[in-house]
Amino acid sequence: MATAGLRLAPGMLMLFALRAALTGLDWRWIAVPLIASLPVHLLDLARTARG
């Protein structure tokens, strides 16, 4: 269950940023989810590489 959440989290964050951009929200609402998605994505990659 945790593995599935870790794999889905970066995409969900990027979709949230896309929605914020398309609805014209402030740039902070776009930047924060994009910045947050990077460490989660790297954590998923590291976990996948370990096996």
Asked whether the beta carbons of 44 and 7 are under 8 A apart, the reply is yes
The answer, yes or no, to whether residue 43 has pLDDT greater than 70, is: yes
Q: What is the pLDDT of residues 7-40, one digit of tens each?
A: 999 999 999 999 999 999 999 999 999 999 999 9
